[in-house]
Amino acid sequence: MSQDKKSFFDFTSPFDLERQIEIFHKSHKDQFFVPKNDKFKMKTLVLQRNYLIKYNEKSTTQKYFNITNALIEIVSHPKMGLGISLTKNGGNFTFYGIVEQWFIYMKKWCIQSNFSKEYNIIIMIGKGSFAKVFKIQRISDRKEFAVKVFDKSILKSQDRPALLKEIELLRLMNHKNVVTIQETYENDQYIYLVQELYQGGELHKELKRSRTFSERGAFIIVQQVIEALIYVHSHGIIHRDIKPENIILREEGIIDQIVLADFGLADYYRKDCKYMFTRCGTPGYVAPELLQDKIYDHKVDVYSCGVLLYYLLVGKGPFDSNNYDLTVKANFNGQVDLTKFNFTNECLELLRGMLDPNPQNRLTLEQVKKSQFFKRHNFTYNQVSSQTSLGSINYQSDSQIQSPQQSPYQDNRNFNEQKSRFVQYNSPLHSPMRLNSPNLSPLTGPQHKSPNLQRVPIQI
């Protein structure tokens, strides 16, 4: 990126700070040569996630650098060899030594400027209102990835905090069932978010082909989502958009390797509920208290996961309707009728616990894991192969569950067509969508009509 262009990631916080820091045993720690007054001094450096610490065992306080969104480059010195240069807010810190592995650790938190020298673009695989997604190949080893590309010329000033928040949350993720960012690049025109390439596509598309899942098949998917959410919640984050479109299969047809994606609506949990976006999510999947403008917490994700379980078993959501406003109204009330299904008692008990409209009575994630439904299927699941294909499980049409005479996707065709007017998703990394509505009840709009709760592209 040219020097006269201001970086999208510029911060006003200082680059060099000092305070008491606990050095963890598993942190990366090594010695490097640091230039000072035209000389080089050996310094012990410690890397703890996004903090680079100049460690001094004799001092009670440590000098550190918050490397988040610093420009990172590999540099070379005629005597010292390779080094890493970090530039942020006009400040620079450079160190030399065996830096290759440290560069791999650090680049997740930093910004690079040479995307075209590192990757070749193969084909576009998705397009949203503010970003395009491409399949790419790394030049050094020909490994394939996906990259989400944002055009800075169409990003408005108010869009910046939302995109920065999403990038920040994705960088924190390091779990097999959760999407993360591999690298971030920026040049004068574009921002590039490099992520893992998932070959299996969205669970939503698999559901269109398979219609419904047996209880065992639904368990295999939901238990992975639960594990992903436990990890996400452990970082103090709520996802707020659990749905089949945001669940990705790593390999086509393999349901025990799923990934929870799209953190465009995620945020750090706040007791006061003052989020960047307070009422957000997808109609038919959100928890009632969120639509009712009540204070909410992590249990909104449990409710959405309960809707997901219902969807997997039945082939459509409990609130789906040919009328959009009726869907929102039913979702607002949050009452789900489970009397017409012949699910097992363990399954019904779990669904009632996850879909309780009262968050005080709703199950926690840990209670879901301890449910009889999970215990029974965990025992069975552990006896089978580590890779479960869609073809190896019974669908509902082959089980004891009562199913409609025709595909539930045909029953719900008009509703899906209506929603498609507000949604563009062609890839595992589609631009996130959110409900965009005033801070009032969706049932008390002017002329008794529901306010605009359509999913619209986020403003980043």
pLDDT at position 429, please?
33
pLDDT at position 421, please?
27
Residues 192 and 206 both lie in one domain: no
123 to 194, 231, 321: CA distances (angstroms): 14, 33, 36
Residues of the chain with pLDDT under 70: 1-5, 11, 379-460
Q: Check the annotation: does 156 bind a ligand.
A: yes
Tell me the pLDDT of the chain averaged across its residues.
83
What gap in Å lies between CA 460 and CA 441, rounded to an integer?
26
Domain termination residue (choose one: 196, 228, 258): 196
Selected catalytic residue, list 141, 151, 159, 241: 241
- In-domain check, residue 62: yes
Residues 294 and 310 both lie in one domain: yes
Residues 397 and 297 both lie in one domain: yes
Percent of the chain with pLDDT over 70: 81
Render pLDDT for 297-336 as a digit per residue (tens, 0 to 9). 999 999 999 999 999 999 999 999 888 899 999 999 999 9
Residues 188 and 210 both lie in one domain: no
pLDDT at position 381, please?
56
CATH number of residue 71's parent domain: 2.30.29.30
The tally of domains found in the chain comes to 3
- In-domain check, residue 8: no
Residues 386 and 345 both lie in one domain: yes
> Which range marks the domain in which residue 59 is found?
16-98
Q: Clarify whether 262 is annotated catalytic.
A: no
